[in-house]
Structures are given as C-alpha cells and as structure tokens.
Chains A and B, each alone.
Chain A
C-alpha cells in the first residue's frame, strides 16, 4: 500500500484513482485533516486525496505524516 519514494517519503502505491482504499485509510487515520475546499478532489467525507498532509506526485501522492 505504501512505498518509500526516492526522496525518502511515504508514497501511496494505489495511484490517484483508488477512491475506496484511500477513504478507508483516511477514516482510520488519527492525523487526517481536511485540505482547503478548493483542493479537495474526492467525493467521500474522508479521503487521503482530500487531506492537508498529502502531496501529489506524478503517479500518486506522498503522506507527510508517519
């Protein structure tokens, strides 16, 4: 589900369209924080794709929280 990127960051291996999985991850993440409304891209109430601590990469995103 996660790999360590070339920059040493934790990158999600499911890409940018794995809506259900990132919703489940976010629902169970104590550090989840919603991003600005303008930056939200997922329809689910909780989603890593909508989180303030995700950083988009070419194929997916990295999570800034351990």
Chain B
C-alpha cells in the first residue's frame, strides 16, 4: 500500500548546548529505517513551506517534511508506532512535533486534505481543525510532545505532497557532467529528475537542450513529478548552453 508520512515542528537549535537534528534529518532517519527494516521502499522527501504568522508558534522555519512509501499492509502499524516513538524520543522538549500517516487509497476525500494543505499556507489553523479532518478522512494524526501544534503542519504537509504541486525536494542532487554542462535528457536519465522546465517561459526542455549546472541542483514537486527548474542563461555564460539551474535565491519561493 502507498502511504504518506509527514512530520512537522520537531527541531530547535540546541538542547543542553548540543546541536540537534532538524525536521528534515528526522524524516530522513524514519525513511532510512523503513527501508533498512524491510518494511517498504520510500520516495525522496519534499519540504513544504507553511504560513509565517505571529500567531503561529514554530521552531525554525514552519515547514513540514513529507515522503511517500510503498509498504506491506501488515507493516502499517509498525511504521506508525516506530515513527511515533522516534519523534517522542528525538524531538527536543521545546518543540511541538506532529506525525501524519495517510494511506493514499483510503483517504475518503483527497481534495479536502489538499485543501487543508493550501489553507495552512495562507491561514492560521487550529489543532482541532486538523484532528477533525484527519478523523473524517481516516488518517493517522498524532502529537509527540509540547503543545502538539505540529499536527497542523504534519497534516498540511501530507496534503501538499498529495497535491503534487508544492514544495522542493530535500537535499541537493549530484549530477555528473563534463564542465558542468549537460543535456536535459542526460539529467533525466540519471533517475532523480523527471522533467526539466523553464517556469518563466512555460517550456519543457527537449532532451537535446543543454543546461549549465549551478551548485544548487534541486528539483521541485510539480505535476506529481520531480521537476528541475531552469532559467535562460545570462549572456556572460551563454555558449553551448541556453539554460541554467536555479540559484538558492531563485528557489526560495518553492
């Protein structure tokens, strides 16, 4: 069965002077355990930015992390129990962690979950609203310390991942290319990017179009695919390639 695992609000800066793990790293560890234990196979993690607002307490960024996994049905409870214990154990005392695990085929009204995700990017929502919706849709939602406010972001993260059109992938891609110039087809053939697209011009690049790779090669989650956004090269570096990957500052709105 296909599941969405989403977590939020787990990290703070330091605990007893020791640097602690961020939400993304905790999501990565849960994902690794699912695979190492043979419970299932996982897709890459996406990061979803939620609303920044004075009324919303958040640890460092108010973003949630989500990944999809294919697991055997018999391991569903195992995964939920493990992730719950893990978050209770690893999250810092002054964080408010939340966990959402949704079986995609069993979500009775997927559109409602997606709507909740987009609402959380634009409005202040409450824990009760999150719990009510999760119960209505048959989704696991649990809190693991603090105020438990992270359940809002956890549920929203699942909805945004399900939407197929929000957020960016965790981590940077390492793509092999001579002189940092490579064709769109070769990028996609390396298996971590489904499509290369110029968002400003709305152009999906053909396989033979050449791209200059920057130091921040990061796909976004669009059309339910890993889409590598590119823009037209500046004249100074124009040569064989017409396109270049986004910089960090260009990527910040995703």
A residues touching B (Cβ–Cβ < 8 Å)?
Answer: 6-7, 19, 35-43, 50, 52-53, 55-58, 64
Contact = CB atoms under 8 A, between A and B. Distances in A.
Chain B, interface size: which category? Answer: 20 to 34
Given A38-B170, A39-B60, A52-B13, A57 B54 contact: yes
Interface stretch (B70-78, B85-93, B173-181, B246-254): B246-254
Given A37-B172, A57-B54, 7 more contacts: A19-B249, A36-B24, A37-B171, A38-B24, A39-B63, A55-B60, A58-B52
Interface string B222-254: 000000000000000000000000011101100
Given A38-B170, A53-B13, A56-B61, A43 B248 contact: yes
Main secondary structure of the interface of A (DSSP, over half): loop
Contacts of A40: 248
A39 B248 contact: no
Contacts of A42: 248-249
Contacts of A6: 54
B53 interface: yes
A58 B61 contact: no
Nearest to A50: B248
A36 B54 contact: no
Contacts of B52: 56-58
B47 to A, nearest CB: 6
A41 B22 contact: no
Contact of B54 (A19, A35, A43, A58): A58
A33 B170 CA distance: 20
Contacts of A53: 13
28 contacts: A6-B54, A7-B54, A35-B60, A36-B22, A36-B24, A37-B172, A38-B24, A38-B47, A38-B168, A38-B171, A39-B22, A39-B60, A39-B61, A39-B63, A40-B248, A41-B248, A41-B251, A42-B248, A52-B13, A52-B60, A53-B13, A55-B60, A56-B61, A56-B62, A57-B52, A58-B52, A58-B53, A64-B13
Contact of A43 (B13, B170, B171, B249): B249
